[in-house]
Amino acid sequence: MTKTITVAGDLRVNRIGYGTMRLADAAVWHGPADRDAAITVLRGAIELGVNFVDTSDAYALGESEQLIAEALHPYGEDLVIATKVGVTRPSPAEWEPLGHPAYLRQQAELSLRRLKLDHIDLLQLHRIDPKVPLADQIGALRQLLDEGKVRHIGLSEATVEQIREAVEIAPIASVQNQYSLATRHEEPVLDYTAAQGITFIPYFPVAMVDTAAGSPVATVAAEIGATATQTALAWLLHRSPTVLPIPGTTSLSHLRENVAAADLQLSDEQFERLSASVAAPVAAP
C-alpha cells in the first residue's frame, strides 16, 4: 500500500488528507467558536505531513476558506488546497445546489480571494444542480480551467453516468462521495473512477463504523496494534490505491491518530474479513 497518491497525474499528496467542515459550528453556518484552536489544528495538520486540505465556499459562508489562509498562507509548495462551489446556504438548515454558470464562476473568484491564491489546484462542483444542464455547469468550470484560474476539476456526489457525461466536456480529476466501511452504496462509483484513474475522495470516511469493543473493526485493530478508527481508515486505503480519505476533526490528538493510519498495513485476509463482517452496504438515500 502506497502512502502517497498522484491526483490528475501532477498533484502528489500524502494519502490522508484533512477536511475542514468540522472546523465550523454544528450547522456549518458560523466559523469556529475558538478560532485560535482551529488555526492550531490546521497548522498541526501540516506539521504532521498532511498536504491535501479540502474545504468549500459553503462552509461557514466562506469563513472556512478565510481560516485556511489565515492559518497557512503563505503556503508550502507541496500543499494542495481543494475547494468546492455550487451550493448556496439560504439558512443554517439549507444546502441548495445552484449551478448557474455565472454563479459558479463568481464563487470561484471569491474563493481565490479568500484563499489568497492565483489559481485553485482542485475546484470541485459541490453538487450537481438538476435544474441546470450538466454541460453548462462543467462548461463554466472548464472556462476557469482554460483561463488558468483552476488547475483541475472535480465532482462531488456524482453518479457514474454523470461522470461519463462530464468527462466529455472537461477532464475530471476527482470525485468526492460519501463512503466508508459501513456506508458502501457508492462502490460502483469507486470502481468506475479507479478504472479511469480518477481519484476517489471519500467524505465522512469513518461514518457509522461500529468501533465498539468486540466489533469486527475493534478485533482487527487489536491484531495490528491500532485504534478502531485507524483500522477503518486503513481499510479505505487498502480498498483502492485511488482512494484519498479526508477525515475532519477539531482535536490534535484525533488528528495525529488519523494521520498515523497511513502507516498501517492490513493483510488481504484482514481486509476481506472486515469487508464481509461489517453490515452490508446501505441503500443510497
Task: List active site positions.
Answer: 59
What are phi and psi for residue 35, nearest 5 degrees?
Answer: -65, -40
C-alpha cell at 34: 475558538
Q: Mapping DSSP to helix (H, G, I), strand (E, B) and coil, where does residue 150 land? A: strand
Residues in the chain: 285
State which H helix or E strand residue 121 sits in: strand 120-125
C-alpha 244/C-alpha 38 separation (Å) is 22
Q: Which amino acid is at 223?
A: E
DSSP 60: G
Region for residue 203 given its phi and psi (left: phi exceeds 0; alpha: psi -120 to 50; beta: otherwise): beta
Q: Is residue 105 a contact partner of residue 73, using CB atoms and an 8 Å limit? A: no
Q: Is residue 17 a contact partner of residue 244, using CB atoms and an 8 Å limit? A: yes
C-alpha cell at 170: 472537461
C-alpha 53/C-alpha 63 separation (Å) is 15
**In b/e form, how buried is each residue of 169-186, taking b as 16+ CB within 10 angstroms?**
bbebbbbbbbbbbbbbeb
CA atoms 48, 61, 203, 121: torsion sign: negative
